[in-house]
């Protein structure tokens, strides 16, 4: 599988799943554009490291995915976009009647509306090239719900709907749009929650992971960022050219329950 000559833009890619996907796309030969809302030396170093490791062009562009103008500027500044991975996302856990409005607005903006803006600017570029891949990172929460995650579940169901609509508007144009629905993935964000959860439940690391964190994931194993990256690479391959408007779960059986 070679993505040589393709440029991939991955939103929210200075850590976790976004970085994992960027690395696997680069391993497959794509030039990559990393993004987050910060502009630190270490952000640019991530791009330099990918370029050195995989022999591709890699850049880091600062853009805040909570702001429509920034979302659009990211794509314009990159100049070309063959592969768009809408990955940036945040979470807040709280009952609906106590959910802070500003948290609701931020989650909807970053997890859902940003993908509308980036897609709107990227599509004309993809149509001109006669080829494009849009991979939206939804969640098991794009297909099912959990209490206290109203904004996240609403945004993730929304991005599944946006993926289907984008697929219909691009069908037959060499462009596909799909949503990947991960279950629990071992990212630095999740790793950081393990020590506190161990204390709270007075359990060891393995017990906390299997009995508390992965309670809804029948495999009782985390998905990895490399597996998410591999799924994204597959969706960019010729084998996936007729896969569009659908969801692919990488959730250890969560949504089969």
Catalytic residues: 152
> How far is 171 from 148, CA to CA, in rounded Å?
36
Residues that bind ligand NAD (CB under 6 A): 12-18, 36-37, 64-66, 87-90, 110-111, 137, 139, 182, 184-185, 187-190
Answer for the pair 212, 253: CB distance below 8 angstroms, yes or no: no
Rounded least distance, CB 129 to ligand NAD, Å: 25
Q: Which two tokens stand for residue 255?
A: 């949504």
> How far is 3 from 12, CA to CA, in rounded Å?
21
Contacts (Cβ under 8 Å, ≥6 apart) of 32: 7, 8, 9, 10, 13, 22, 25, 26, 47, 50, 56, 57, 58, 59
Rounded least distance, CB 225 to ligand NAD, Å: 7
Q: Please identify, using beta-carbon distances, which residue of 38 and 173 lies nearer to ligand NAD.
A: 38
List, in sequence order, every beta strand (DSSP E) within the chain. 7-10, 31-36, 58-62, 83-86, 132-137, 175-182, 247-250
Q: Please identify, using beta-carbon distances, which residue of 131 and 253 lies nearer to ligand NAD.
A: 253
Residue 254's CB is within 10 A of a number of other CB atoms, namely 23
Rounded least distance, CB 179 to ligand NAD, Å: 10
Q: Please identify, using beta-carbon distances, which residue of 37 and 116 lies nearer to ligand NAD.
A: 37
Answer for the pair 163, 84: CB distance below 8 angstroms, yes or no: no
DSSP per-residue string spanning 75-102:
HHHH---SEEEE---------GGG--HH
Q: Please identify, using beta-carbon distances, which residue of 115 and 175 lies nearer to ligand NAD.
A: 115
Q: Please identify, using beta-carbon distances, which residue of 142 and 245 lies nearer to ligand NAD.
A: 142
> How far is 193 from 184, CA to CA, in rounded Å?
12
Rounded least distance, CB 189 to ligand NAD, Å: 4
Answer for the pair 25, 236: CB distance below 8 angstroms, yes or no: yes
Rounded least distance, CB 19 to ligand NAD, Å: 7
């Amino acid at each position: 599988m070679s993505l040589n000559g393709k440029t991939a833009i991955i939103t929210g890619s200075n850590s976790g799943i976004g970085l994992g996907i960027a690395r696997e796309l680069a391993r497959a030969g794509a030039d990559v554009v990393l993004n987050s809302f910060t502009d630190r030396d270490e952000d640019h170093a991530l791009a330099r490291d990918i370029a050195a490791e995989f022999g591709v062009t890699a850049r880091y562009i600062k853009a805040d995915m909570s702001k429509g103008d920034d979302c659009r500027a990211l794509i314009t500044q990159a100049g070309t976009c063959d592969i768009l991975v809408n990955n940036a996302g945040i979470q807040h856990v709280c009952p609906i009647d106590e959910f802070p409005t500003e948290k609701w607005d931020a989650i909807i903006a970053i997890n859902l509306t940003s993908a509308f803006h980036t897609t709107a600017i990227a599509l004309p570029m993809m149509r001109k090239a006669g080829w494009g891949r849009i991979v939206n990172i939804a969640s098991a929460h794009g297909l099912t719900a959990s209490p206290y995650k109203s904004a996240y579940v609403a945004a993730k169901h929304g991005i599944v709907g946006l993926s289907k609509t984008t697929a219909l508007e691009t069908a037959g144009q060499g462009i596909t749009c799909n949503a990947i629905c991960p279950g629990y993935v071992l990212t630095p964000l999740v790793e950081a929650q393990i020590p506190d959860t161990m204390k709270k439940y007075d359990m060891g690391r393995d017990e906390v992971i299997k009995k508390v964190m992965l309670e809804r994931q029948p495999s009782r194993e985390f998905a990895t960022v490399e597996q998410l990256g591999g799924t994204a690479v597959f969706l960019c391959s010729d084998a996936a050219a007729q896969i569009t408007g659908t969801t692919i779960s990488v959730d250890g059986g969560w949504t089969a329950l």
